[in-house]
Structure 1
């Protein structure tokens, strides 16, 4: 059995998870990361995706996140999400609304850099829609 460590998933609305876990897979902007106890300290940004949590009791949960950042230390991982919900509470119409808003952001971007960021965000949302 893997060593346990503390994981917290926080959104502006509420604390979704605060418990001992074996591992967490997070959708970092540079690619998926599996975080376990004694992980090297890292701070990373999060893209829209699914966080997979495996608790010490063996239970596995999934949460949909729409960005944010994670602070990873050897004994704790804190993910501060811009927005997050348990996958069972995921609403397909919510992601459709977010995709439409992202398309509008692409169309109204004032410069190439803003347009590129908006297109990347739109791409991540579309991939998330296909995943959940």
Structure 2
């Protein structure tokens, strides 16, 4: 078995990272998980949180994501993030925009549920917003500084 696997992290605006890694820690929708070389193939929905990458030399890097999905194979992990930033690039302004996007999704879900009776849509949006708030608190940013006007 190889000591490393290929890791690619892509956000809509750019490719954030493409390197060989020893381990990738992911904030899965159904719980956190680690992918290492030889991991069974899987596609994982991601919740807002921190992705931790340990490269071939053992150096650690973290990325804040607002959600997305990861495709895990025995020799690679490809992660497509809705919004992704290096941990050190997460400012209050960047986090506020992520929070506003989550709040807009919640408002849209409430409108859909009201108009079409789409049960569960609002619950998913509320969970997304709670996960975003937890991410902000975890990295020392204020989840209450950003609101979407009614």
Unaligned runs of 5+ in 2: 114-118, 140-150
Deviation at 1:91, TM superposition (A): 1.6
Q: Name the residue aligned to 2:120.
A: 113
Measured in 2, the distance between the counterparts of 1:19 and 1:84 equals 16
TM norm structure 1: 0.91
Q: Name the residue aligned to 1:26.
A: 26
Measured in 1, the distance between the counterparts of 2:100 and 2:14 equals 26
- How has the CA–CA distance of structure 1 residues 78 and 104 changed in structure 2, closer, same or farther, with 3 Å as cutoff? closer
Measured in 2, the distance between the counterparts of 1:99 and 1:82 equals 13
Measured in 1, the distance between the counterparts of 2:72 and 2:28 equals 12
Matches within 5 A, 1:7-22: 7-22=7-22
Q: Name the residue aligned to 2:131.
A: 124
Q: Name the residue aligned to 2:63.
A: 63
Measured in 2, the distance between the counterparts of 1:10 and 1:107 equals 27
Matches within 5 A, 1:86-97: 86-97=86-97
Tell me the secondary structure at the aligned position of residue 99 of structure 2.
helix
Compare CA radii of gyration and give the structure with the larger one: 2
Query: Given that residues 66 and 98 in structure 2 are in contact (C-alpha distance below 8 angstroms), is that contact kept between their aligned partners in structure 1?
Result: no
- How has the CA–CA distance of structure 1 residues 50 and 94 changed in structure 2, closer, same or farther, with 3 Å as cutoff? same
Unaligned runs of 5+ in 1: none
> Number of residue pairs matched?
131
Deviation at 1:97, TM superposition (A): 3.6
TM norm structure 2: 0.80
Tell me the secondary structure at the aligned position of residue 95 of structure 1.
helix
Write 1 or 2 for the structure with the bigger share of strand. Answer: 1
The CA RMSD measured in Å over matched residues stands at 1.6
